[in-house]
Homo-oligomer: A and B are copies of this chain.
């Protein structure tokens, strides 16, 4: 079944092995991400894919976190620019939607994006686009700046929540716990019923976004 055996080892049949450069490394990392997910994008696995040892990668990449950040910015390339039609609200939501969709496809990347502040060119383009849309909507600059952070955090965190770490069982556990609570000790939970868990991810995401925008429009930043 396994074919990394002796007989096939020396045949050169690996298709399009990327060069050992930063670009080639990132390209190979994206390929592994697409095929098997971020947890498999490890230094060792990547080195194997590039027919070298893990130590070689450290010439081009500081560490695993930086590698993951580079992968994120690469995927962000598909998101950047704003759509041309609709009023600013619609367009804002569409840009955020495209960012979110990308992250929903790779939740573990969202997770890493939360702690490793991205600063790649595609990320900067996204910020520029969002700022322009909020400006068009008449949101004061300082408020818009902090607002962009909040909107991106919301999208990123929502995606990160979907890493598939037995999370179906977590949900069942929470659902069960909520239903089993006596009204006497937890009256408000009983009162809201299933609302705590209702709605599709998309519906909750859209509501969250509208809620954030409504707040951003009317909450001034401190001096």
Q: Which residues of A contact B (CB under 8 A)?
A: 63, 65, 69, 107, 111, 114-119, 124-125, 127-128, 131-132, 135, 141-142, 144-150, 153-154, 156-158, 160-163, 165-167, 170-171, 173-174, 176-178, 181, 185-189, 191-192, 195-196, 198-199, 203-204, 207-208, 210-216, 218-219, 221-222
Copies in the complex: 2
Kindly provide the distance from the CB of A135 to the nearest chain B CB, expressed in whole angstroms.
6
Kindly report which residue of chain B lies nearest to residue A210, judged by CB atoms. Answer: B219
When distances are taken between beta carbons in the complex, the residues of chain B under 8 Å from A147 are 211
Kindly report which residue of chain B lies nearest to residue A64, judged by CB atoms. Answer: B165
Q: A117-B167, A131-B192, A145-B196 are known; give 12 further A-B pairs, CB within 8 A.
A: A114-B114, A117-B161, A117-B173, A127-B196, A131-B188, A142-B195, A145-B198, A147-B211, A203-B222, A210-B219, A211-B219, A215-B215
Docked complex Cα distance between A212 and B209 (Å): 10
Query: Are A214 and B219 CB-contacts (below 8 A) given A115-B111, A146-B195, A192-B142?
Result: yes
Docked complex Cα distance between A115 and B119 (Å): 24
Docked complex Cα distance between A214 and B147 (Å): 13
Task: Enumerate the 6 nearest inter-chain pairs by beta-carbon distance, A residue then B residue, closest first.
Answer: A215-B215, A145-B195, A131-B188, A211-B215, A157-B157, A119-B174
Query: Are A117 and B203 CB-contacts (below 8 A) given A128-B188, A150-B211, A186-B128?
Result: no
17 contacts between A and B (CB under 8 A): A65-B165, A107-B115, A111-B111, A111-B115, A115-B160, A115-B165, A117-B161, A117-B170, A119-B173, A131-B188, A144-B188, A149-B196, A153-B158, A207-B219, A210-B219, A214-B219, A215-B215
Kindly report which residue of chain B lies nearest to residue A221, judged by CB atoms. Answer: B207
